[in-house]
Copies of this chain bind each other. A is one copy, B any other.
Amino acid sequence: MPHFIVEYTDNIKDEAKLEKLFEEIHKVLIARDTVFPIGGLRSRAIELKDYRVADGAEDDAFVHAVLKIGAGRSEEIKKEVCEALFEVMKEHFSLIMAKRYLALSMELIEFSKAGTYKQNNIHARFKKK
C-alpha cells in the first residue's frame, strides 16, 4: 500500500496520459516514503467503455480515483497527502477540463487492520539500498 485506482471514460483515452499521471502521483507519495513505503505503491487505471453521465445529453467525461491506504495514519497526514494528490489530478487534467465537460473526483478508503494480508518481494529492493 497505498493503492491508487483510477477509473476513466474512454472518450478521453487519447489525452489522459495515464503513465505521466501515475509518475506524478508516485512522486507525491515517494516524497512521503516514511509514511508510505515505496515498495507498496501500486497505481492502475480501468478504462470505462460503457457509461452514462448526468442526463446523458452530452459527451461527458469523468475520472474517479480511489486512494486505499492502511489504517492508522493521522487525520493531518491523510488530509495533506489527499490534497497534494488531488492537486496533481486537477493539474494533470486541466487542459481537458478547460475544453469539455469533465468530472474529477477522488476518495480515500482505509483498509481495516484486521482483514489485510500481504506478501511482497518488492520492498526488499528498497531496503537493500
- Report A's interface with B, CB cutoff 8 A: 1, 3, 7, 9, 18-19, 22-23, 25-26, 30, 38-56, 58, 60, 62, 64, 67-68, 75, 78-79, 82-83, 86, 89-90, 97, 101-109, 111-112, 114-122, 125-126
Contact = CB atoms under 8 A, between A and B. Distances in A.
How many copies of this kind of chain does the complex include? Answer: 3
Contacts of A54: 26, 38-42, 122, 125-126
B107 A120 contact: no
Given A56-B23, A60-B122, A64-B42, A114 B51 contact: no
A22 B79 CA distance: 34
Contacts of A19: 50, 52
A20 B117 CA distance: 21
